[in-house]
Structure 1
Amino acid sequence: MYRVLIVDDEPMILKGLTVFLQQSGVSIASIRSASNGEGALAAIREELPDFVFTDIRMPVMDGLALCAQIAEMDQKVQTVVISGYDDFTYAQTCISYGVKEYLLKPISKPDLQDTLRKLIQRAEAAKPASAYLSVAKMDEWMAEIEQAIYYMNQEQVTQLLHTWEQEIATYHMQDEQRIEMLQEFHVLLMKKLKARDVNIELRPLLELKQGMSFHTVYQQFTGSIQDTLDSLYRRRKGKLKDPIEEVKIYIEQNLGSEVSLEEAADLLGLHPNYFSVMFKQMTGETFVQYRTKRRMEYAKRMLGEERYRITDISYAVGYADHSNFTKTFKKYEGISPSEYRQKMGI
């Protein structure tokens, strides 16, 4: 597990990066923070972190001075510099202090995940190859089995469980170490599944007794996952539902209502923030962009029928304010609703 130190004088950056790291799926032992270089050095002396994420522009002691101090310590601390300034001079200076990663604000989750992957790969490469599992490989397996469980892919789940048990057996570890790792993995998998769907739960592992074999505990782990699949199947009545498609249908059926992101997330039993990110990843559009697009497409179909007044169409697609509808339509189509009708010869 990794220890992380975040150094930034902006509270929102500290909070946001902390949340990103907590949701990254990486095994993190601790996340601490400091508002400047001096505070960071004090935190480093108290407990040596594995990764330091630091801003450049800070009062008291800036990020470059902090990087220089860390470089002088000659410790296995990997530093990532965060800056809102796309300045090559800063990047050059950072490289001279041994900094290998440079993130620009605003930080996106994909950029952070990519950076974490590189940090972990370097950290793992520095460890004895036969003594530790690859964290990157664990993260990849976690993502695969989380998705397989959520979409109830029984064949893939069975294959992943079998492959992973064989994989773990190839590492030079004591059964106690393997069991401890599996317990942590189980807890993390529960958290990630709960983030996807509040109604998903993994059966807890039974009380572990001293001297228990890893194979016995792994069977418990397998049983826990199978119970979850059975529960999901019963709840979904044997029908695999694509959550994004469910929301699209709901939007289509309620174009005249102000369907909010929170309402759609609640429909699926998901946290709004998680649902928002998932929707954007799956559709390439934000929830509001997609809802607006569908409203305007429906409005265009109604405008093609002379029997509908433009004010009626405005209400039908959820706009009580006619001027707001006209403004949105023009932004979407490039012309006003009345001009659109004229263009169609109506």
Structure 2
Amino acid sequence: MYNILVVDDEPLICKGLAGLLTSSGLGIGQIYTAYSGHEALDYVRIEDIDLLVTDIQMGEMNGMELMQQAKMIKPWVQTIIISAHETFQYAQMAIRLGAKDYLIKPLNSEQFLDSVRNALLKMDKPVTQMDDFLTRSPEHFHMEELRPEKNERLNRLLEDPFTPTMSEDELVGLLEELGITGCYFSLMRMKLGTQFEDRNKVITDRDNRLLRYAALNVAKELLHEDWNALAFYSAKGEINILIQWNEEEYAELDMNKINQLEMIGRSLHYHVSKYLGISTIVGFSQILKGVEFLNVLSRQADKAMQWGEEQGDYHVFYYGDFNWHNYSQDPSPEELTKQSNQIVENTRQYIDMNYNQKGLTIHDVAKKNHVSPNYLSYLFKKNTGYNLWEYVIKLRMEESKSLILNTDMRRYEIAERVGYESPEHFSKIFKKYFGVSPSELKK
């Protein structure tokens, strides 16, 4: 049974879609409704949501931003986008970010239920058991790999300073032959674990060869045709993913590209862990313009992964999170720890002063500290024991409880005071947190 979250700033549409789903006969458990992106994110954080059905135009946070943030919180959440605009650019971006469908209003009931049915069926696809996978020989796999010489040329571009000795036409020809057609680049590097999760069995050389092959396949499946990316083996046997944009793609809809990269990294880690049964560390670089900086991106991905290897419970690291530019040479673990502690303290102070701000998001807090949202959440949980958003909710709930018990303020006034736009949404969070509704506590 799957749980579905329906999001639209028009309550009648939410209720109509929820009614359709309830009477559809599909294998649906709970159906939740939210009237804004911020409400929806609360549900993603505190409930087991499998499928998100969201309108694209919703005030402060649009549907694609919601989808992107939801996938960073829980990479397995699938999304169907609903729009009143038949704009190819929007549809293209939605599919690229992983939407399972892009439906145009007014919705046809059968088409909508078919879309939901297809999304749920894909979640039901059986997963090959790891033991079965390892008993196969490489001949059973049918995936086109890069030719060894092409793989070697790509790695040479990543490792050596860019000093072309050929004419501009020859260089363009070489880059096109290698599949490098963009002008903006980021490099993601994934290192596979050396032991199966929840097992004592160590990976043999043969296992490692097959796992690398399968992990490369997972990366290609995830990126598919939606991203202009090259997936290939690194010189050390890791998986390299070179993501590239042309000028038009880079400016597309002004979406936050670092958030997109983190979303890809988290999805990659999740799927390799789920389907292959091994842990991974993913490091990714900043975005730079020009092929002459590919070797810089490679060093950045290595540094991000190197820091990641020292952490036991976090898996996707962005080079830009560590403020390396603040140091004349690579910082020691002690210096990075000191920097992390300062980020957490700054975050705590900011939240203590702003937890009742309407529409507060982790992205707002992360921006203040110049780090990515998920890394900030990791640091905060590691240092305080609280998930960052749990801490925000804790402050809001404690304040609202005090107001209920000690004042005559009405529910909508209290909701407003602690940062919720909707009294109904406030009541749902309150009951989830305390086990009783605001009115029951008042009595």
For the aligned pair, the TM-score class normalised by the smaller chain equals 0.3 to 0.5
TM-score, normalised with respect to structure 2:
0.31
Question: Per residue, is there more helix in 1 or in 2?
Answer: 1
TM-score, normalised with respect to structure 1:
0.38
Task: Tell which structure's C-alpha radius of gyration is larger.
Answer: 1
Question: Per residue, is there more strand in 1 or in 2?
Answer: 2
